[in-house]
């Protein structure tokens, strides 16, 4: 018989494959997840604080909860809300057509006032732009 016997070579390859599988280090990392604890007396959710909304329109006008204001009035309103306990959330919604310079100026006023709870809303307008 002139053919080479492949059985010993296949056996050696299978043994090497098993050795490589055994020597692979075991994955020891874990993701810690804090699951909620089921209790008989669940705590009620905290009271929702008041939310204020600033809208900037394309013609450079802005509103505070629907009332037209200017930059000086905005700074006064922000100082007044910062002293409330708990501090109300500030929702910021620039129009898609608003000038960047005006939006930047209003964000600078908000930053200088020291507001800590700021959220951008209306981002769904830009979903198809990118």
The DSSP secondary structure of 50-90, one letter per residue, reads PEEEEEE-TTS-EEETTEEE-HHHHHHHHHHHHTSSSPPEE
Overall fold of domain 51-126: Nucleotidyltransferase; domain 5 (3.30.420)
Residue 58 has pLDDT above 80, yes or no: yes
Per-residue pLDDT at 126 exceeds 70: no
* Model confidence at 49: pLDDT above 70: no
Query: CA nearest 96: which of 116, 124, 68, 61?
Result: 124
Average pLDDT over residues 30-59: 72
pLDDT at 86: 82
pLDDT for res 44: 54
* Residue range 76-88, pLDDT digits in tens: 899 888 888 888 8
Rounded to two decimals, the pTM is 0.58
* Percent of the chain scoring above 70 in pLDDT: 79
């Amino acid at each position: 018989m002139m053919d080479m016997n492949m059985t010993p070579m296949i056996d050696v390859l299978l043994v090497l494959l098993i050795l490589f599988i055994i020597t692979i280090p075991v994955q020891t990392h874990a993701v810690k997840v804090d699951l909620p604890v089921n209790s008989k007396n669940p705590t009620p959710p905290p009271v929702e604080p008041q939310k204020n909304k600033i809208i900037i329109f394309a013609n450079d006008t802005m509103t505070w909860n629907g009332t037209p204001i200017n930059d000086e009035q905005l700074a006064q309103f922000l100082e007044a809300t910062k002293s409330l306990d708990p501090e109300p959330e500030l929702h910021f919604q620039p129009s898609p057509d608003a000038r960047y310079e005006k939006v930047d100026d209003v964000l600078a006023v908000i930053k200088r006032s020291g507001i800590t709870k700021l959220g951008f809303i209306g981002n769904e307008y830009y979903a198809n732009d990118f």
